[in-house]
Amino acid sequence: MRTALFPEGFVWGVSTSAFQIEGATDRDGRGPSIWDAFAGGAYGDPACDHYARHPEDVRLMQDLGIAAYRFSVSWPRVLPEGHGRVNDRGLDFYDKLVDELLEAGIAPYATLYHWDLPRALQDGGGWTSREVARHFADYAGVVYDRIGDRVDTWFTFNEPWVAAFLGHASGVHAPGLRSAADAFVSAHHMLLAHGLGLEALRARGAAKAGVVLNLSPVLTPAQLGDMTTGIPEEDAEAVARIDALHNRQFLEPLLRGRYPAELLPLIEKIAGLGHIRDGDLDVIGRPIDLLGVNYYTPIAVQAQPSAPADPAFPGSEGVLFCSVPSAVTAMGWPIMPSGLSLLLRRLSEEYPETELMITENGADFEDVVTGDGIHDVDRISFVEEHLRALRTSIDEGARVRGYLLWSLLDCVEWADGYRRKFGIVHVDFTTQRRLPKDSALWYRDVIKRNGLGAERPKRPTLETVAARAGVSRATVSRVVNGEARVSPDVRAAVLRAVQELGYVPNAAARSLVTQRTDSVALVLSVPRHGGEALTSAVVQYVTSVLEGAGKQITLMLADTAESHRRIVRHVEARQVDGVVLVPPDGPDTLTERLARTGVPVVLLGKPAIASLVPHVDVDNAGGARAATRHLLDRGRRRIGVICGPTDLVAVQDRLAAHLATLHEDGLRPMIALAGLDGASGAAAARELLSGGQDPDAVFATSDELAIGAMEAAREMGLRVPDDLAIVGFGDIHAASCTTPALTTVRVPAADQALALARLLLSRLDGRHTSPVVLPTRLVVRATT
């Protein structure tokens, strides 16, 4: 891996926020904040006790070579009631902190608002009140008057989207409100407060001032695998709308002095426009010196007419938020460093005059405290991959001044409390002992080098554990696999070495041979009725991706009881490192037997016990809901369902969603059970059509059944769609060839196959994995 140096003068630092680390929520005159009320006192104090331990934390940063420290000022610590009376003891804390930073050679970067509004202001309406924006400007002036002579760089707000929409629309953050109208009003007042606060800072002589936004590229599922892919015409409006809600709602007013034109009608519909007054956007759009960019993960969406609005995105009806088929952090956030390059390229093209800084980037992973440190290789890998993406962006011309890693310390992760670990320094919240992780030492070397080295960090291996315990690699493997034929003393020595090194068993550790096989079994259960296209895609894409990763593919057919036994014996003997399993349509015992082997298994389709193995599935419920809602929107009120075998999990999900959608409109269901083929679909349709219920539409849980229903309708002299509308599920090749062409729910075959391969690679690499659910899409054709 080549060395990647950064430009001379590039700023390396870390970020934190007041509520997450300071503690001391009732000391030295600090007033309560909305987060104290929201958390109910469960975790705001002592947090990291930074209020008392800041000298130690500054020394830590100095030892790591940190050049810049972005901290936030606690508004209720400075102005307990939010305005009026100034708490000098609170300002004393920041006074001392800034002096200590400068003495250590660390530039202080101050953020004035990181979500901890004084509760007294919330009692008066909070951010829904325009007056709070003026109080913020006064607060900015008070802070500047005390420390402005020593702070060079100021940020007014951190992530106003989060504060406005997670705090006021979805209610998962403080103040915990659930009002779409309040969210839009609050967002505007935060932007206004930024502008007024900027004026206050400028009037007092602030050298550099800006704002921090959480920004994410908005992509379609196809673009997640290939960012050069264009946006399909049917998804373009959905992508633009979410980009406007999440990104341009803040970028455009701040950098262009206007709201996106397509966003204003949506705001007017939900909240009116009375809160946006003449002159506001002139104040909001005052030039800034620096835009802080917080990047963690992309947003994936596509059009789905039946999808309800996501509470955090008011006005997002008809947009499906999609799973990202990639490795994820322990918080479940997809890891996609290329998204950072895409975002910086976009900012550089659209706002070329704006200087940028990465003000947050980091990841939550499970850490293991060992006798010789915390070996957080996953976190190092995450940061390194994003730094390489950042370096590429700088080569392309992005004006990025520096990189501030999130975060210095393990801290309170807002509504998630203490269980998330974003820090490069571990904090024992019982003793408040600090312990730099391997990532901190690695970051120290990056800073010293002003760039990335040639070697990637390596996680402890079986050989490392064997050397520490004084045993063979095979013995270590037997211990971690729980074999009984190891003496108690040897077992204890191995387990002690595992604990000391923080070793996390991966696919190699599960092997009892001395070398990893680098072989993967692709197990196909046949026949799978109507699944030829999907099976073909799995064979093609899984083979391609895994072979590209250096794996050998062993194709195995599971079509008899004997073949099942042979496959299980093959896997139990550790002749493969992992298994991709395409199960049968009907009852399946092979999944459970393979899951018990301890070898990583990934499954196509949700098993009956969803937690059994990581799996890739499609949104069967969402597809069925879209199909049913489509029929209802076209005035069909007597909708029958032809349901395939109900022992299939996918069919259960489709049927349940169909029934729930009918129930929402006060309609009673008409159900006809069928098998898997067209003949059974025709028979079920005849039952519905001749049973005196007189349906005017049919939803079938598969295309084969829908095609059978079309044949039955013709036999009975009914016209499709005039007399009977029909919708299927699957979009098999025949669906577009029927007369008339069948309206159906498209299932993404290639995306499922790619997700299977990526999910297995994540498991083999020891990464945290969770089920991947891919979106479906309603394809409207002539039968409706």
Mean pLDDT of 199-214: 97
Q: How confident is the model at residue 462 (pLDDT cuts 50, 70, 90)?
A: low
Provide the pLDDT for residue 193: 98
pLDDT higher than threshold 60 for residue 510: no
The answer to whether 382 and 367 have CB atoms below 8 angstroms apart is no
pLDDT in tens, 102-148: 999 999 999 999 999 999 999 999 999 999 999 999 999 999 999 99
pLDDT at 460 over 70: no
Lowest mean pLDDT among 222-236, 393-407, 514-528: 514-528
Task: Give the model confidence (pLDDT) of 44-72 as tens digits.
Answer: 899 999 999 999 999 999 999 999 999 99
Catalytic residue among 22, 100, 252, 360: 360
The one catalytic residue in 22, 159, 384, 704 is 159
Tens-place pLDDT, residues 705-757 = 999 999 999 999 999 999 999 999 999 989 999 999 999 999 988 889 888 98
Question: Can you tell me the mean pLDDT for 437-465?
Answer: 83
Give whole-number Cα distances, 102 to 59, 116, 149, 591, in Å. Answer: 12, 26, 12, 60
State the pLDDT at residue 123: 97
Q: Which residues contact 576 (CB under 8 A, 6 or more apart)?
A: 517, 519, 520, 521, 554, 570, 599
Confidence bin at 371 (pLDDT 50/70/90):
confident
**640-680 pLDDT, tens per residue?**
999 999 989 999 999 999 999 999 999 999 999 999 899 99
The DSSP string of 292-329 is: EEE----EEEEE-TTPPPPTTSTT-TTEEEPP--S-B-
Percentage of the chain exceeding pLDDT 90: 71
Mean pLDDT along residues 612-637: 93
pLDDT band, residue 202 (cuts 50/70/90):
very high
Question: What is the per-residue pLDDT across 480-496, written as a single tens digit (0 to 9) for each?
Answer: 666 666 788 888 888 88
Burial (CB count <10 Å: 0-12, 13-18, 19+), residue 218: buried
**C-alpha 96, offset from chain centre:** 38
Whether the predicted pLDDT of 515 surpasses 60? no
Q: What percentage of the chain exceeds 70 in pLDDT?
A: 93
* pTM recorded for the entire structure: 0.77
Sign of CA dihedral 221, 224, 226, 230: positive
Taking alpha carbons only, the member of 672, 624, 666, 628 closest to residue 646 is 672
Residue identified by tokens 């270590």 is: 476
pLDDT, residue 607, reads: 86
Residue type (1 letter), 251? L
Instruction: Mention every residue, 6+ apart, whose C-beta is less than 8 A from residue 422.
Output: 362, 363, 364, 406, 407, 410, 411, 413
Q: What pLDDT is attached to residue 225?
A: 67
Tell me how far CA of residue 325 lies from CA of 295, 614, 627, 723, 751, in angstroms: 18, 12, 25, 41, 8
Please report the pLDDT score of residue 474 as a whole number: 63
Mean pLDDT computed over every residue of the chain:
91
User: Is 360 a known active-site residue?
Assistant: yes
pLDDT of residue 470: 75
pLDDT at 1: 45
Given a cut of 50, whether residue 533 has pLDDT beyond it is yes
**What is the per-residue burial (b if ≥16 Cβ within 10 Å, else e) of 161-174?**
bbbbbbbbbbbbbb
Helix-helix angle 50-64:438-449, to 10 degrees? 50
- Answer yes or no: is pLDDT of 544 > 90: no
What is the mean pLDDT of the segment spanning 203-223? 95
> What pLDDT shows up at residue 3?
64
**Comparison of pLDDT for 533 and 407, the residue scoring more:** 407
The CA radius of gyration of the chain, in Å to the nearest whole number, is: 29
Q: Name the more confident of 558 and 155.
A: 155
Per the model's pLDDT, the better-predicted residue between 575 and 743 turns out to be: 743
* Among the ranges given (83-97, 120-134, 296-310, 538-552), the one the predictor scored with the smallest mean pLDDT: 538-552
Q: Between these two residues, 416 and 208, which has the higher pLDDT value?
A: 208
With a cut of 50, say whether residue 507 has pLDDT above it. no
Q: Tell me, what's the pLDDT at 530?
A: 52
- Whether residue 268 is predicted with pLDDT greater than 90 in this model: the reply is yes
Give the three-state DSSP class for 735. Answer: helix
When pLDDT is cut at 50, 70 and 90, the band that residue 514 belongs to is very low
* Segment 376-397 mean pLDDT: 94
Q: How far apart are CA 267 and CA 256, in angstroms?
A: 18
